[in-house]
Structure 1
């Protein structure tokens, strides 16, 4: 399974505010777009295939692993 590191957003009280969830969703979308834009040599450098990158970048924004949301 492909894992990516998300940029940290400021911690908010639990449950997360609507703004915090929106910021997190935008970060996921930005990172998936960036992953899709990498060329094959860059993907090779990070150890994933074009198929894995396409599969990850095609996932919906709300479909992010829980450990990314911490």
Structure 2
């Protein structure tokens, strides 16, 4: 039997959580760009990857944030 998923409207708390994450995104990206080589190695990314992430626009949010699964 095939199941069809009908999306339900987002709750007010979910909407505010998504908005808070979106507002914090530029701050997080700036902080990532300021990490030194040792910390970048701990995180497992290169300087080029950190700079590329920091340069992304605010509307280019991670897919998991947009989908609401976090």
TM-score bracket, normalised by the shorter chain, equals 0.5 to 0.7
- Structure in which a larger fraction of residues adopt helix: 2
Listed as ranges, the gaps of 5+ residues in structure 2 are 1-9
> Counterpart of 1:45?
42
Which residue number corresponds to residue 3 of structure 2?
none
Q: How many residues align?
A: 56
| Aligned residue runs from structure 1 range 22-33, under 5 A | 22-33=19-30
For normalisation by structure 1, the TM-score amounts to 0.65
TM-score computed with the length of structure 2 as normaliser: 0.65
Superposition misfits of 4+ residues, deviation over 2 angstroms: 20-24
Q: CA RMSD in A?
A: 2.1
